[in-house]
Structure 1
Amino acid sequence: MIEYFNSLGLEQPFLRLLLFTLISIIIGIVIRFVFFKALFILNKKDDRKFVKLLERRFTGSIFLFIPMLIMHNMIPGFELNENLTEWLLLISESLIIASFTIVAVRLVYFLQDVLNQKFNTDRADNIKERQVITQIIFIRKIVIFLIVMIGLCLFLLQFDGVRKYGATFLTSAGVAGIIIGLAAQKTIGNLLAGLQIAFTQPIKIGDAVLVENEWGWIEEINLTYVVVRIWDQRRLVLPITYFTEQTFQNWTRNSADIIGSVFLYTDYTVPIEELRKEFESILGSTDLWNKNSQVLQITDCTEKAMQIRLLMSAKDSPTAWDLRCLVREKMLVFIQEKYPNALPKTRLEMNQSSDSNA
């Protein structure tokens, strides 16, 4: 290679290095283009979605890995001074480790994308799918954390100082482990709670929950915290140990179906059978009702009014909320139009005294 550059009149080492760097980058671009083009040709049209996922995840990462690998093997032959050669080799090794770490992380993300394609969470009854997706996401986070830590260790081991005192570090690892363990008890507890949640699954991605008197959906399950998306688009961030130590409501633990209730307060003169017929008519005219439950009952009576409870089922909690609002509104309109005198009222009966009659 050196003789070839000399034949071109490139006797300066830095010019040769610069030119070969450009050649390495071009080689990386060509290899990447040929690799994905071959995958597109070899795969049928129906299977190309996975190739597209691979291309999307690895855009740019192979760029750095291949040129640095070529450069690292060729740098000793550029006849540079010894110190500069050592520094260039150190830089190229660092970039190779960094690019390999990036490739490994993106490969994990690609595997997650492939698995996500096999589980459809868009359908109504998606409990099993959400269970698997929750486990995949948590395992992905742990694997990426380990990959990054290994990459960081390999990067540090390039330096003589780190290698020189490596034995000392290992000797004091027991003491350091105890100190770190005491100082990071809460963090370690969060990690263990995360593992417990990932596999016992009291919550899953997409579950409807009631926590801290707030209703929302589980949006993220991270290594140490959970993000709950509240119904009004706020985000409630809780430590992951909250879901192993505190009481909360999970409305979609085994099924997304839920029963909603509406309470009406009317006078004793309202005809219950007419209300029941109207209630059945309202439910029959909307797609929000899943046709599983339908009940109208008088649940309480006071000196002023009676309490009527209407129960109805829906496929999930957001639909149940909309259905409850619809039924409440239409039932009130029905009473106002048909039986306005049956709305709650306070009775006051006045009798003339015997003195006034006299």
Structure 2
Amino acid sequence: MKLDLNIQPLESWIKTGKEPLVIAGPCSAETEEQLVATAHLLAATGKISALRAGIWKPRTRPGEFEGIGSIGLEWLKRAKDETGLPTAVEVATAKHVEEALKAGVDILWVGARSTANPFTVQEIADALKGVDVPVMVKNPVNPDLSLWIGALERINNAGITKLAAIHRGFSSYEKSAFRNEPMWDIAIHLKTLAPHLPMINDPSHITGNRSLIGYVSQKALDLDMQGLMIESHIDPSVAWTDAAQQVTPAALVEIIDHLTLRKPEVRDAGVKDKLAELRSQIDKIDDLVIQKVAERMQIAEKIGQYKKDNGITILQVNRWDEILNKRTTYAKALKLSAEFTEKLMELLHSESIRKQTEVMNKGQETPPAEQLTHA
């Protein structure tokens, strides 16, 4: 089911002539000199569509630098006047919205911590009613697509039609090379639900490491994201916040120049025909996969009935370990990743257990809903 969002094209509210679209600037506005000097260097590259800067910084723990505050808006205004770059700022309260708009900020964004709280998003949305300003919504800290969608809907319901999503990755306990796991599948799912919703990737917050920004940026563009938000500081080594993920304007140019741009639409007739042929092959294989999965579930039901008749438990850990080990080994020989194979087998196993549970409980009275709720 597609999302019913009333939105305008990205081109209607930000100049997208530069490819790729890049919104850049320091993580935090620290001093007037730092912000304005960075803005001039970024503008001189000719590759930046808008200047971003953190004015209010929601930090995880108290005592950390939480932004320079409202005075930074005046610095941002000066940077805009001197460079001609539109400006973008994060807002987390109705007061932030009021002050940012009064200072002439061109684009607002809702941060990940704010997106996670519907009360906060609604407060921001209420402050935006009757205002014609572009708003971008970052994904929530935790991998919850519904929260992300809910925040977008609340802002859209307030009358904001210049709307975009920002993919900045998700918090995870698993250790990896990333500060925030990209979890590309969630971003892709949102794109399928809202095909016309512009999506901006934030490789700075995904990576937490400037050396990986180019890699993540390329993948985002390959997944048809409409632009990038990258943190850039005149001297990242002395940055007051998130120094490791910021790049100099010169380094940003290097990253952008090494990106390969690909088009989502195919115009060459020969290429179209070849893609159609290959996709037809995939369609046939997908049909066979679904048919075989259905056959597998029919056998699972028979196993469930046999277990029921003979008093055998549904879950047998040794059997599951055997299946997983055999299938993972076989898949590896066929050059399928272990991670993919494990996820696939877990899905099949989960559905098999569900089918067998239905067989086991057939004929038994289902407990009332309130009993299930308080169990």
TM-score range, shorter chain: under 0.3
Q: RCO greater where, 1 or 2, for CA within 8 Å and sep 6 or more? A: 2
Q: TM-score, normalised by structure 2?
A: 0.24
Q: Higher helix fraction: Structure 1 or Structure 2? A: 1
Q: TM-score, normalised by structure 1?
A: 0.25
Larger Rg over CA atoms:
1
